[in-house]
Amino acid sequence: MKLRISIEKISLEVELADTPNVKALMAKVPFESKAQTWGEEVYFSTPVSAGLEPGAKQVVEPGTVCFWTEGDSRNCFPR
C-alpha cells in the first residue's frame, strides 16, 4: 500500500505493509496532523489507536515508516 504525505510544498510517497494497523490508518485518510521532530525522527499523531502487531520491531532502518503504539506524539513534546 502506498500513502502520500504532504507537508506544505513537499510531498512524499511511502510504501506501507499490508497489516491491520495500516488498514485502520488508510480507512481514516485523509487527515491533518502537526509534525514534530525528535533528533532525526519525525512524529505526528493519527486518528487511529493501534495495538502492537506480531513481528513488530523496536529498532528499524533509517527511512522506515512506523506506527508507534505505546504513546501519543501529541503528549511527548513540549509546546
The Cα-based distances of 9 to 12, 15, 28, 40, 54 in angstroms read 10, 20, 22, 20, 36
pLDDT in tens, 23-66: 999 999 999 998 888 888 888 888 888 888 888 888 888 888 88
Question: How far apart are the C-alpha atoms of 24 and 63, rounded to whole Å?
Answer: 22
Q: Give the predicted TM-score (pTM) of the model.
A: 0.74
Question: How far apart are the C-alpha atoms of 49 and 25, rounded to whole Å?
Answer: 9
